[in-house]
Structure 1
């Protein structure tokens, strides 16, 4: 069984959650939290870090096993399914939302005349191959892709500094704390996805350290702050509310000197890097949880890829898609993560009590 280092899994999460926090979340934060949405991100960190501390506690108690394996060995198959199915549904939603949004964005920006079927087939073919090769290959790709994604992110932030007017962020709390509290739900979406770690804990060569997990969670959550504040500073609140892809719009402002413009093709690299790792990893985890090997595992991955291609072709408008993300995907992701963490903590506590009782006998 292939195992990876915790750092490799962190790189995977940075790319996966980075796409979530840079693409899906920003328009929703702008809609719900307005110009104070950056406060939602800061306020979600304390409870988010407490959740990660609970996640760390569970990882330690699992003793190198995944949550399905540990639960099945101690409480039976039914209990294992009750904890695993919500996370698997979360992964399926991640797959659909990511592939659909990537296809929509591709059509809206740089390949407007290419059929969605062609885009989806090519993209899913690459993701199928990566998932088939396994988590080791996905981690290697994350190692190679993430440094350039980070460099490009800092480049676009610095290149657009001349266009930024941070006075657009004032007045603070113009509409009170209500929008800020509402925005916290969407600010926690990327952090909640880290609950999937319970499904791949057995794939780590050594366990996470608490400080490493908390640092990773802090970085994942803060990924939204830069493009959110930058968008308001560059476009102003009125225009920011109209932007469907604010991070991509910021790339379209970039120029170097008088003669170098149209550098927004770098955004394609950033987006596809995140989408590729995000989809490949989710597909791998789903196949890994089934426990199938060889041709059966390949069949599951192939079937999943074809179903995603067909799902992309469903006649769902972009407005309807955003509504689904806002009302279904992110609320379910956050809610399922909280429920699974609390339920798993309860089972771990009962198992420890049972172990102590048996020892006393």
Structure 2
């Protein structure tokens, strides 16, 4: 019923996927990937896109088999009532942890760079209230806003990439594959793979697409854009800082600050901060919407909007409770998140597809 009321276009879906994934890739991915793959980290980013193709294929096949239904709804059809409920509870936990983590990342970033004297609670509360309002207004409003915000983000960000090229040193990415392919694969399946697999959000967004036939094209365009930007960011960061990249918390921000010092431009980091804030706002707004949808569909609540305020408050509590400090957060992103992401973003959807395909075989043989 909700999907029939709210609709988004193929272009809006493409922009949503792009902003959702690239927002957290912008500043943190280079250092995480360099930790594993060193100067070959850009190759890890390229290989990670393959996991995105798997996610797109899986979610679109399932959506075509169960049109108008989210992954929460067709899980019960495929696995049965109780196992389907377990999948729903698991995803509720996953999205709650994700929102809390992103909020903590965002708050730490803003308090470190812009508002060091502001209480953490005020920064987190202000951010989540805005995201909660967007989620309450619905996915159509978020998608329409994101169309403008993504264009704004790119208008800010692409000139930064061009300026970065001027300071880059290609010798920093040599020698290529000095330690073999294994570190590159580690960099691809660890942080990068986790980020690319976030295309599984199609499991909640596809029922709202006004032209389902455009799902594959819109998703592929978004994946190509994400891959190009991520590879460019990682490569340029390594070309400027080399081995130092893995020691930088916000590596690409450090690149932007370096450009401002070396060149004639000042306070360029304001542009990088703006792109981070825009991206995190869209990501958390979509995540709160999906979380509310999960809970409403699990308990049969007709209007997911009634759940947005309490779930936003719960996410605020989670952002203070989940990690003690920034070091724990970074450790989680580098080592725990990849496994959690693989299970929720790749393994569960693939298992659903396999089980559904096995169940459908006897039906075909009867016909």
- The answer to whether TM tops 0.5 is yes
> Hey, what does 1:228 align to over in structure 2?
234
> Structure 1, residues 215-267: CA drift from partner, whole Å, max 9, x if none?
32233334321221111112222x21221101211221344997641121112
Instruction: Tell me the distance in 1 between the aligned counterparts of 2:165 and 2:79.
Output: 56
Instruction: Tell me the distance in 2 between the aligned counterparts of 1:81 and 1:6.
Output: 30
- Coordinate RMSD, CA, aligned: 2.3
Q: Which residue, 292, 305, 313 being the options, matches 1:306?
A: 313
Instruction: Tell me the distance in 1 between the aligned counterparts of 2:146 and 2:53.
Output: 24
**Contact 1:61–1:348 (8 Å) recurs in 2:** no
Unaligned runs of 5+ in 2: none
Instruction: Tell me the distance in 1 between the aligned counterparts of 2:142 and 2:21.
Output: 15
Instruction: Confirm whether residue 115 of structure 1 aligns to residue 119 of structure 2.
Output: yes
> Hey, what does 1:280 align to over in structure 2?
285
> Hey, what does 2:101 align to over in structure 1?
97
Q: Which residue, 32, 40, 46 being the options, matches 2:44?
A: 40
**Contact 1:33–1:179 (8 Å) recurs in 2:** yes
> Hey, what does 1:353 align to over in structure 2?
361
Deviation (angstroms), 1:275: 0.5
What SS does structure 1 have at the residue aligned with 2:187? helix
Q: Which residue, 261, 271, 280 being the options, matches 2:276?
A: 271
> Hey, what does 2:324 align to over in structure 1?
316
* Segment drifting more, 117-126 vs 151-160: 151-160
Mapping of residues 147-158 of structure 1, within 5 Å: 147-158=151-162
What SS does structure 2 have at the residue aligned with 1:205? coil
> Hey, what does 2:140 align to over in structure 1?
136
Instruction: Tell me the distance in 2 between the aligned counterparts of 1:204 and 1:227.
Output: 31
> Structure 1, residues 63-121: CA drift from partner, whole Å, max 9, x if none?
23223323434653223224434433332232112100000011110111111011011
Between Structure 1 and Structure 2, the one with more helix by share is 2
Instruction: Tell me the distance in 2 between the aligned counterparts of 1:45 and 1:65.
Output: 26
**Contact 2:55–2:345 (8 Å) recurs in 1:** no
> Hey, what does 1:187 align to over in structure 2?
192
What SS does structure 2 have at the residue aligned with 1:241? helix
TM-score by length of 2: 0.89
Mapping of residues 194-205 of structure 1, within 5 Å: 194-205=199-210
Instruction: Tell me the distance in 2 between the aligned counterparts of 1:181 and 1:259.
Output: 39
